[in-house]
Structure 1
Amino acid sequence: MEHVEYSSGQYPIQHRKGEVERLKAQDTALSESTIRLLKSIGVASGWKCLDLACGPEGITHYLLELVGSSGQVTGLDGDEEFLAIARADAPDNCEFILGDAYATGLPDKTFDLVHLRFLASTAGSPEKLVGEAVRLVAPGGVVATQEADFHTLKCYPEHPAWRELADIFVACFPDGSSDPIAHRLYRLLMRAGLEDVCYNPVLIGTRAQDAWRDYMPSTVESMKKRIIDDLGVPKAHLEKLIADVREHLSHPETVWTFNSVIQTWGRMPST
């Protein structure tokens, strides 16, 4: 299957068996906050929307419900296998294209909404992403981002394996600073000339009985190559950490908080 490397060159998550299921579990966990975001933006019938780095579906199904048959939804991703999955049930007014979210090659001022989720905070180069999104949005249209602040990734009760695995998880991404990309995007949207820029942090809690429970260990499994090759963590030690964390998360008294999802959005001036 064809694959396009993002031009930031930093995206650490590898394609593996189970990755599609992990991404769909992520989407389910974030569905309520995503729908609230789109309704706050005012996505409506007839809009043309672009979901950058959409993966095997992204938020395209939510967008389709809002834009109706008179609207158009486009998903762009660098993984042709993901796009093939997304295309399987796509209606006529939804297309999925292979491309680089940092340099799409799509025409200027085309979309009423340009959305991206979990790319700037995981692959880096937020200024470049914002620049591309602003280029693509039409006058009066909206640029919206949903990005991760890893500082809220915590488990209760605490566990040594969780803490070590969480530290490894965060070290895989370009965003461990005291000025996280997720929060920095608010300033970047303002400096790009967008109006009425909004900022909304979302925090999700998870229990042992929730399907979302396995998100952190399963994401680490999708970054094994990076962790072993680049961070130098021995494979056997990493696998034991994953097993210990899974056992702890399965205990009925264990709860944990996902990284905060920082939603920012703003509107391009009409003229």
Structure 2
Amino acid sequence: MTYLLDPAWHAEKTRLDDLAAHYDPGTAAVFDRIGVAPGWRCADIGAGGGSVVEMLADRVGPGGHVLAVDNDTRYLEPLAGGQVEVLAADITADPLPADHFDLVHARLLVEHLPSAEDAIGAMVAAVRPGGWLVVEDLDWSTVSTVDPPSPAHERVLRALRELFDTMSYDPCCGRTLPRALRRAGLDDVGFRAEPRPLTADRERGVPLWEMFVDQLAPHLLGGGLLTQADLDAFHRLWHDGESTGFGPLMVSAWGRLPGGA
């Protein structure tokens, strides 16, 4: 296995919607910072459920253009039309239009790819001189924090780390992004980082965190990394109404390609 998450999972759209609810505000803050404006040509790579595509389409208006790119476009096709174009493609194999976009954006994509340097290089090649690249990925350094301490939580984290080692997923990707953008030749590099607080809820639990583990459960169980009792204890933890912790750190990094007006 090389890709961490299965896009055909039965609750994938729900998971993507929950991700959007948590992370779209931070993405919007970055777009505010770099000044995404009407008429811009933008590309969202690994566009997933399409929430960022809709955000960009609203900002660039009818005079702009948003290219939504993903291997699996089932959730993007309904957005096609007007200023939105949908493309089924893999940026590691299918080049984007060169020197074309005012903004190229990717969230929760680079961490899954075998070579972050190659992926960032492919995206930089699509940015016009003076345009921006924004890359957002997770760093798992904050996930071990939970109160009160929980053996169930620690067992799941240990199993996830072992699973990550069997594939191309990089749990430290987020922290490397600012340096990677500088090495790719971008100027005005900046970044923001935000952990998601996790608060156990007796009714809802913590869907974002629990769905991630549930989607990987067949691999965790099948590989002998966890037992069903371990998973049950993990879910009870996030429904106890008491436990608190942090999810992975979301690192958003941006940089501008030199040149342009």
Give, in whole Å, the separation in 2 of the partners of 1:167 and 1:96. Answer: 38
Number of residues of Structure 1 aligned to a counterpart in Structure 2: 253
Deviations, residues 161-199 of structure 1 (Å, cap 9, x unaligned): 1111122223333335xxx32121211111111111002
- Please list, as runs of the form range in 1=range in 2, the aligned pairs for 1:1-271 lying within 5 A after superposition: 10-14=2-6, 15-79=8-72, 83-153=73-143, 154-173=145-164, 174-176=169-171, 180-209=172-201, 213-228=206-221, 231-233=223-225, 237=227, 239-271=228-260
Structure 2: how far apart are the matches of 1:45 and 1:212? 40
Amino-acid identity (%): 26
Taking the aligned partners of 1:10 and 1:41, their CA distance within structure 2 comes to 34
Please report how far the alpha carbon of residue 228 of structure 1 lies from its aligned counterpart in structure 2 after TM superposition. 4.4
Find the residue that maps to 2:75 and give its secondary structure: helix
**Residues 142 and 51 from structure 1, CA distance in 2 versus in 1: closer, same or farther, beyond 3 angstroms?**
same
Q: Which amino acid aligns with 1:242?
A: L
State the distance in 2 between where 1:245 and 1:214 align.
12
Contact 1:189 1:265 in 2 (8 A): yes
Paired with 1:23 and 1:171, the residues of 2 have a C-alpha distance of 24
1:98, distance to aligned residue in structure 2 (A): 0.8
Deviation at 1:116, TM superposition (A): 0.9
Cα shift readout 1:232-269 (whole Å, capped 9, x = no counterpart): 436xx1x3322211111112222221100111100001
Tell me, in whole angstroms, the C-alpha distance in 2 between the residues paired with 1:200 and 1:91: 33
SS in 2 for 1:100: coil
The amino acid that maps onto 2:188 is D
Q: 3-state DSSP class of the match of 1:59?
A: helix
In 2, the alpha carbon distance for the partners of 1:247 and 1:270 equals: 54
What amino acid sits opposite 2:5 in the alignment?
I
Instruction: Give the Å deviation of 1:133.
Output: 0.6
Give the superposition deviation at 1:212.
Answer: 7.9
8 A Cα contact 2:113 2:119, kept in partner? no
Letter of the 2:250 counterpart: V
Secondary structure of 1:141 counterpart: strand
After superposition, give the CA deviation of every residue in 1:78-113 in whole Å (9 maximum; x if it has no partner).
12xxx2222224442112211113233322112111
- Shift in alpha-carbon separation, 1:228–1:247, aligned structure 2, 3 A: closer
**More moved, 27-36 vs 115-124:** 115-124
Q: Match for residue 5 of structure 1?
A: none
Question: Are the counterparts in 2 of residues 214 and 246 from structure 1 also a CA contact under 8 Å?
Answer: no
Structure-2 change in CA distance of 1:211 and 1:132 (3 Å): farther
1:199 is matched by which residue type in structure 2?
F
Stretches of structure 1 that go unaligned for 5 or more consecutive residues are 1-8
Calculate the TM-score normalised by the size of structure 1: 0.86
TM-score (norm. length: structure 2): 0.89
Q: In structure 2, what is the Cα distance between the partners aligned to 1:204 and 1:16?
A: 24
User: Relative to 1, partners in 2 of residues 1:105 and 1:123: Cα closer, same or farther, differing over 3 Å?
Assistant: closer
Letter paired with 1:17: H
Contact 2:96 2:122 in 1 (8 A): no
Find the aligned partners of 2:70 and 2:120 in 1 and give their Cα distance. 16
Residues 1:97 and 1:252: Cα distance change in structure 2 (over 3 Å): same
Give secondary structure in 2 for the equivalent of 1:50. strand
